[in-house]
């Protein structure tokens, strides 16, 4: 069952703001306010502290942008923030990282993608409060929500617009209806390594690294890798170097 949240929308384009509001209210969320400037957002937050905020990075006619607003919001209320913006410039993305957002989505947005990110963001936020960095509730495709122990994740793999999560000791895997890029933020612990655009591996779960493949714990799961990725992966470990055998 989806958690119904009180959400603040900070967006200076009225049409986009209304689209977001409609998307949220259709599934039972409450939109506390729509703010089109930094100043209006601060007023709304003081009046109605939100459970979660959806914030545009660029706010025309404001004294500050959405990134500064997000930093202040998290400092005062520890509220999860989702950036929804048309800005994908590397400098802006780097600045946005400093605000520790739970997601960074580009416009035009897909309603189902936004709703999934809200669920992930809220689940991550609540579990960080209860047991930091260990458990996370993922909205599994057609199966509600699955509580996943991040320490038991062997690897996470992209498959088109979906992401598959493979756990140690389980034959089945779990499918999340979102791109890997949107899930990767929840696997930021040092033991997780982004091996390629489509694969994240748990370094603690690797059993062996061969010429063109990686065998995971239990040797049931084998992952194909390129020579470049193999080299990058080996750099994550202490490797004993030996001289080649003669003959």
Return the domain boundaries, the chain: 6-128, 133-234
176: part of which helix (H) or strand (E)? Answer: strand 174-176
Domain at 6-128, CATH homologous superfamily: Response regulator (3.40.50.2300)
- CA 95 to CA 115: how far, in whole Å? 24
Q: Which two tokens stand for residue 171?
A: 């034959």
User: In terms of C-beta density within 10 A (0-12 exposed, 13-18 middle, 19 or more buried), how is residue 124 classed?
Assistant: buried
Q: How far apart are CA 183 and CA 185, in angstroms?
A: 6
Rounded to two decimals, the pTM is: 0.59
Question: Topology of 133-234 in CATH?
Answer: OB fold (Dihydrolipoamide Acetyltransferase, E2P) (2.40.50)
Return the structure tokens found at 138. 């993922």
Residues 117-131 have a mean pLDDT of 77
Q: What is the pLDDT of residue 35?
A: 95
Residue with tokens 């004993």: 240
Work out the average pLDDT over 119-133.
Answer: 71
- The pLDDT-based confidence of 157 (bands split at 50, 70, 90) is very high
């Amino acid at each position: 069952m989806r958690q119904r949240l009180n959400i603040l929308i900070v967006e200076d384009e009225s049409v986009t703001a209304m689209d977001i509001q409609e998307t949220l209210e259709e599934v039972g969320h409450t939109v506390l306010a729509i703010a089109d400037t930094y100043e209006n957002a601060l007023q709304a937050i003081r009046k109605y502290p939100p459970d979660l905020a959806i914030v545009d990075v660029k706010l025309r006619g404001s004294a500050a942008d959405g990134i500064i607003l997000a930093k202040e919001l998290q400092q005062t209320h520890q509220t999860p923030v989702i950036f929804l913006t048309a800005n994908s410039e590397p400098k802006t993305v780097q600045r946005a990282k400093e605000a520790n957002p739970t997601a960074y989505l580009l416009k035009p947005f897909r309603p189902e993608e936004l709703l999934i990110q809200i669920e992930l963001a809220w689940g991550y936020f609540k579990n960080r409060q209860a047991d930091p960095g260990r458990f996370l509730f993922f909205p599994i495709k057609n199966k509600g929500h699955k509580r996943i122990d991040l320490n038991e994740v062997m690897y996470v793999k992209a498959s088109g617009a979906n992401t598959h999560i493979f756990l140690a000791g389980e034959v089945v895997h779990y499918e999340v209806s979102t791109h890997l890029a949107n899930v990767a933020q929840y696997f930021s612990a040092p033991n997780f390594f982004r091996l390629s655009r489509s694969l994240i591996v748990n370094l603690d779960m690797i059993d062996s690294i061969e010429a063109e493949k990686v065998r995971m714990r239990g040797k049931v799961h084998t992952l194909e890798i390129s020579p470049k990725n193999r080299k990058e992966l080996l750099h994550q470990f202490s490797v004993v170097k030996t001289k080649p055998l003669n003959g």
